[in-house]
Structure 1
Amino acid sequence: MTGTPTISGSSGLQPRGLGERGGRPPGTRASRKKDPADVEQLAEHPVSLRRIAGLFRQHRFPLAVVTGIIVASSLIGLVTPFLIRRLIDSAIPQHNVSLLLELVGAMLIVTVVTQALGVVQTFLSTRIGQQVMHGLRTDLFTHLQRMSLGFFTRTRGGEVQSRLTNDVNAMQTVVTDSATSVATNITTAVGTAIAMVVLSWRLSLLSLLILPPAIWLTRRVARLRRTIQARAQRALADMQTQIEESLSISGVMLAKTVGSGPALSARFRETSSELTELELQSQMAGRWRMGTMAIVFAAIPALIYLAAGLPATGGGMSIGTLVAFTTLQAALFRPVLGVLNVGAEVVTSMALFSRVFEFLDLPVTIDDPEHPVPIDVATARGEVTLTGVRYRYDGADRNALDGIDLRLPAGAQVALVGATGSGKSTLAGLVSRLHDPASGSVAIDGVDLREMTLQDVASLVGVVSQETYLLHTTIRENLRYARPDATDAQIEAATRSAQVHDLIEALPDGYDTLVGARGYRFSGGEKQRIALARTILHDPRVLVLDEATSALDNATERAVQLALDEVSRGRTTLTIAHRLSTVRDADLIVVLDHGRIIERGTHESLLAAGGAYARLWDSQRRVGMPVG
């Protein structure tokens, strides 16, 4: 028995992981408890296992193959200790070279086979996980595209992005790693326990006495670290938010213009300092417990050796059997701990599915009708009719629009004017079906918008708003966003109509110029004309101009107005105007007040009537706003 420690020490008695950073014992990283946030998420939005299983229904065969590989790999891996026992007890003492070569060769074959099976398992499980996540990701993106504007106004943009990217990516880890890990741990733990009993039932009983306190200590340390890590994650999230807000183009401009740079730096320094302290606490948390655990792990083989050497418990055990047993015992801790963590893993996994399904289950309030009316966009006239329209925003105490009856003849230029909050933009949103009326109807060429497909509505109605949005790509691709199949000639014709072709041609890269984040490379008027060119490519029969020039200076407004006049020619145009000078030539001017039409007529007739429009005209003239 004098040589036993040397032989057994080389066969892996020391559990893996004690040499990792911070002396983390094996399994600590996987040890978990249920996150209260996950439990709360599941309580609010339960998820059925049947629904999750449905995601994998079309992958039944590869899943069965993966399960078979996991079981086979775990069982094959248990052969090695028995090969070691025979090698130590028979081949080496008897100098049996042929048997020695057979056993060594078998050990190598076991390693090669298990590794090869591991490669196949990783490939299949990753492919299944990626395919399932691809389906979920695209379904969620498509569903969110169909949500109404109200959803996006009441939901933080970061929350939408997090569920679409972070949660789905985390689910992929659950599918490819956690699920296979649970199956592997269960199979390995059961197989290892059986093999240990086969080798020595007496030493197996001793291991059962030692294992529980070791697992308890490991889980205590893991839970302590988890609490600190949760605080660290919150601090890291705060830091990321500060970076995103402070170092975006808008954030940098705001900081420079109000002189908040030093305050932002101090705030960032404070958050970074907190994160540093938490990381230190995380590494030092439970250090004395880990030291105790290291002693326990070192004592386990010593106690096994002691039991094997005593006549009452050893029972004439051979050295090979002892080494094989200690090898199995050292490998048992990790899968057992993994099995104990199944509950927390399941809650975490289910919470991730719950968060994604929660968004997928949101009702689509504005959707295609079951039996849409076929629309020939090419021959549409563009007559717009609003009949008895009422609309109220969620949570509002009064209607934003109340009893609107309005007809926009095909090709007519109609203007909406009125004070802020009078309902102008709401009415425009109904015409483009960004909202549906609570009662009444909005129709184009006699067909209610709710009876058309959303694609037909988008083809019929184009919108140019005050807040021009340009993508962070080239000018050419920004224009093709409205019409992907547009030729270069069509793009150039559109930019000429929008009075912006010469500006683009003067740029070093022309149409291949990057517009920059949110179009900050261009002035407001330049962005507006690029957006107009995009609308011209879209070629709608009805054009909605929602205060498209209100944020521009007088000179720029005149340039954009020329482009608007060109774009509006031959189209039914609904213009929401703040400056009355831009709509004085409209065929019809409609005055709104608190969601009701209080006046309608031409510029001259409304001035002659001396009502609300005339008073608004006079007030703009008195403050020097151009009206001529």
Structure 2
Amino acid sequence: MASDLPSRGHGEGRSSRRTVTAAEKAQAKSVSLRRIGRLFAPYRGLLAIVISIIVASSFVSMASPFLLRAVIDRALPGRDLRLLVWLVIGMVAVAAVTSALGVVQTWISTRVGQQVMHVLRTSVFQHLHRQSIAFFTRTRTGEVQSRITNDIGGMESVVTSTATSIAANLTTAVATAVAMVALSWRLSLVSLVVLPPAIYLTRRVARMRRAITAARQRELADLNVTIEEGLSISGVQLSKTMGTGGSLISRFTASSARLIDLELRSELAGRWRMASMSVIFAAIPAVIYLAAGLPVSAGTMTIGTLVAFTALQSGLFRPLTGLLSVGVSLTSSLALFARIFEYLDLPVEIDDPADPVDVDPPAVAGHLRIEDVTFRYAGNDRDALSRVTLDVPAGTTLALVGETGSGKSTLAALVARLYDPTAGRVTIDGIDVRDLRLTDLAAIVGVVSQETYLLHTTVRENLRYVKPDATDDQIEDAARAAQIHDLIVGLPDGYDTVVGSRGHRFSGGEKQRIAIARTLLRDPRVLVLDEATSALDTQTERAVQRAFEALAEGRTTITIAHRLSTVRGADQIAVLDHGRVVETGTHTSLVNDNGRYAALAA
């Protein structure tokens, strides 16, 4: 809205941002693995199938070492060609079966993972959309976008592959260990002695990566903010007119350089420790050969058993390494989950009532009452509005006037329920707006502010945005009422002309008239015009005012204006000063009273 809201919102944003950042909360917050597991609960059946496939594949693959031992110990020494052929066929069959099962398992697990990602993305978007205006005034736009894109995107590999990777590696490791014990329990003890130090080192690496991941996502958010602020049309215009392009590029370059360092640290964190473990794993086969050659082991196993065991041992360390790597990835991704869950746990300050009053928006008369309303912005030490009481009968016009910061736009925001009063209430036809569904209230109260926002699509779709089922005739009637139809049809593509990013193809007055048409298309019973004609030239303003006068008949209108010429005909004028109503009356009576309004009109 107009002057009241941005000043308070921005101030609040600065203080909130410096007090506790989202990343600091994320690092301090413990993420429950059970909560992460609940994301997969709706897909228990599919996951059970995946696990069954993994178990079957793991145990089928365990046949290969035993087939290899039979080849070495029986088929080749005995020159048994028939046995050799069957053993080779068995090896090929094992490979074919495990490959086919792997394809099916990958398809199902990827599908489940993508569904979980979809639920996360839509849940965060939906929950953020329910947040109050206060949340968005204190939160950087780039930060919000970073959570939905970078953070959720960073979780994708973990979500889509972690569960199946754990199941596959764990099952393979258990099956391999059982097969190893079946071949030689003595050699199995030699192979497994390396596990305790491997687990210890992996936990240390995981903690390192989690801290670095949190810092990396924080830097990504800052980079996203710089892109959003610097490459939007408004940001580019500001930098070009203020000559700040060099400093903006330097800021982006520094942030990108820090990101390089964090990415390198993330990739290299614990690499030397894990490399040491790889060397140890590679040395185990040599130790096994040595153990097999010791006098105490002589004659206790065949060459086939030794070769088969070595193959199994190599196969064991692959899933073990995979499990340890998954543990590192899962632990480091907890920082991402913390940032996402932090947004999902935000309370909804402005929400539908538990027991809403049912209304038919077109049937609402529009009798508006503001009853002893007090409001204070979070973090401020004084009230923005103090004990304001106004009665606006249905179909009449209320004009709010006063100096910048007097509370005009704040009062209008309470009518549209962008905020809730600290005390008192706002009613429409005797119903507290807090008892109405937000969709019903949005259909009853229409707002046109001086800050016009148009979508990057056609003029027609910008108008139809508020009423998807609107016909072309209804769209054109609303445009005529807003004195913009003739301009639109004169464009190369008429109503199918793309307005450009944020409507920058049009002048301020043209954008505002499109916004007015968009609101009028909804036909609200209560109109809030917050400096709605401030960007129009005098001639166009008069034309739009005439349209408003015709359309205001039968509906309640609240007009906020600095130019008093636009409110002379209002049925009621309220003068605000530092959040209080100091005068009410008509233009004539207030001028005759020679008070605050008369001073403003002078």
Q: TM-score range by the shorter chain?
A: 0.7 to 0.9
> Do the aligned residues in 2 keep the contact of 1:245 with 1:251 (CA within 8 Å)?
yes
Match of 2:14 in 1: none
Deviates more, 1:160-169 or 1:528-537: 160-169
Equivalent residue letter for 2:344:
L
Residue 523 (structure 1) shift: 1.0
Residue 377 (structure 1) shift: 2.2
Residue 220 (structure 1) shift: 7.6
Match of 1:203 in 2: 187
1:512 lines up with 2:496 in the alignment: yes
1:362 lines up with 2:360 in the alignment: no
C-alpha separation in 2, matches of 1:231 and 1:358: 16
Equivalent residue letter for 1:255:
S
1:108 lines up with 2:89 in the alignment: no
> Do the aligned residues in 1 keep the contact of 2:165 with 2:323 (CA within 8 Å)?
no
Change in Cα spacing, 1:257 to 1:484, as seen in structure 2 (3 Å) is same
1:66 lines up with 2:53 in the alignment: no
Change in Cα spacing, 1:604 to 1:399, as seen in structure 2 (3 Å) is same
Deviates more, 1:107-116 or 1:343-352: 343-352
> Do the aligned residues in 1 keep the contact of 2:27 with 2:211 (CA within 8 Å)?
no
- Which of 389, 399, 404 pairs up with 2:373? 389
* Corresponding pairs, count: 581
Residue 336 (structure 1) shift: 2.0
- Which of 236, 253, 263 pairs up with 1:252? 236
Match of 2:358 in 1: 374
Give 3-state SS (helix, strand or coil) of 1:591's partner. Answer: strand
Equivalent runs, 1:377-526 vs 2, <5 Å: 377-526=361-510
Tell me the alpha carbon deviations over residues 88-122 of structure 1, each in whole angstroms, 9 at most, x when there is no partner.
22223333332222222222221222222222222
Residue 77 (structure 1) shift: 1.9
Equivalent runs, 1:306-325 vs 2, <5 Å: 306-325=290-309
Residue 417 (structure 1) shift: 0.2
Match of 1:529 in 2: 513
Match of 1:26 in 2: none
Residue 54 (structure 1) shift: 4.7
Match of 2:529 in 1: 545
Deviates more, 1:344-353 or 1:88-97: 344-353
Residue 75 (structure 1) shift: 1.8
Tell me the alpha carbon deviations over residues 400-436 of structure 1, each in whole angstroms, 9 at most, x when there is no partner.
2222221112221211001122111111112112222
Equivalent residue letter for 1:469:
Y
> Do the aligned residues in 1 keep the contact of 2:143 with 2:222 (CA within 8 Å)?
no
Equivalent runs, 1:80-95 vs 2, <5 Å: 80-95=64-79
- Which of 543, 557, 560 pairs up with 1:576? 560
Give 3-state SS (helix, strand or coil) of 1:414's partner. Answer: strand
Give 3-state SS (helix, strand or coil) of 1:543's partner. Answer: strand
Residue 161 (structure 1) shift: 3.1
Tell me the alpha carbon deviations over residues 197-242 of structure 1, each in whole angstroms, 9 at most, x when there is no partner.
2222232233234566677778888888888787766666554443
Change in Cα spacing, 1:155 to 1:68, as seen in structure 2 (3 Å) is same
C-alpha separation in 1, matches of 2:422 and 2:276: 69
Equivalent residue letter for 2:52:
G
- Which of 565, 579, 585 pairs up with 1:595? 579
> Do the aligned residues in 1 keep the contact of 2:373 with 2:426 (CA within 8 Å)?
yes
- Unaligned 5+ runs, structure 1: 1-36, 619-628
Change in Cα spacing, 1:234 to 1:429, as seen in structure 2 (3 Å) is closer
1:264 lines up with 2:248 in the alignment: yes
Alignment TM-score, normalising by the size of structure 2: 0.86
Give 3-state SS (helix, strand or coil) of 2:483's partner. Answer: coil
Tell me the alpha carbon deviations over residues 322-361 of structure 1, each in whole angstroms, 9 at most, x when there is no partner.
2211212122223223444666555556655554444334
Change in Cα spacing, 1:432 to 1:284, as seen in structure 2 (3 Å) is closer
Change in Cα spacing, 1:233 to 1:545, as seen in structure 2 (3 Å) is closer
C-alpha separation in 1, matches of 2:213 and 2:361: 57
1:194 lines up with 2:178 in the alignment: yes
Change in Cα spacing, 1:282 to 1:422, as seen in structure 2 (3 Å) is closer
Change in Cα spacing, 1:393 to 1:244, as seen in structure 2 (3 Å) is closer
Alignment TM-score, normalising by the size of structure 1: 0.83
1:301 lines up with 2:285 in the alignment: yes
Give 3-state SS (helix, strand or coil) of 2:492's partner. Answer: coil
Deviates more, 1:292-301 or 1:462-471: 292-301
Equivalent residue letter for 1:573:
T
Deviates more, 1:545-554 or 1:250-259: 545-554
Residue 177 (structure 1) shift: 1.1
Q: Percent identity?
A: 62
> Do the aligned residues in 2 keep the contact of 1:528 with 1:560 (CA within 8 Å)?
no
C-alpha separation in 2, matches of 1:278 and 1:610: 66
Residue 527 (structure 1) shift: 0.7
1:125 lines up with 2:127 in the alignment: no
> Do the aligned residues in 2 keep the contact of 1:211 with 1:333 (CA within 8 Å)?
no
Give 3-state SS (helix, strand or coil) of 2:557's partner. Answer: strand
Change in Cα spacing, 1:402 to 1:290, as seen in structure 2 (3 Å) is closer
C-alpha separation in 2, matches of 1:270 and 1:58: 44
Change in Cα spacing, 1:70 to 1:452, as seen in structure 2 (3 Å) is same
C-alpha separation in 1, matches of 2:544 and 2:559: 14
CA RMSD in angstroms comes to: 3.3
Residue 612 (structure 1) shift: 0.5
Deviates more, 1:197-206 or 1:154-163: 154-163
Change in Cα spacing, 1:517 to 1:43, as seen in structure 2 (3 Å) is same
Residue 152 (structure 1) shift: 2.1
C-alpha separation in 2, matches of 1:47 and 1:214: 25
Change in Cα spacing, 1:224 to 1:149, as seen in structure 2 (3 Å) is closer
Give 3-state SS (helix, strand or coil) of 1:440's partner. Answer: strand
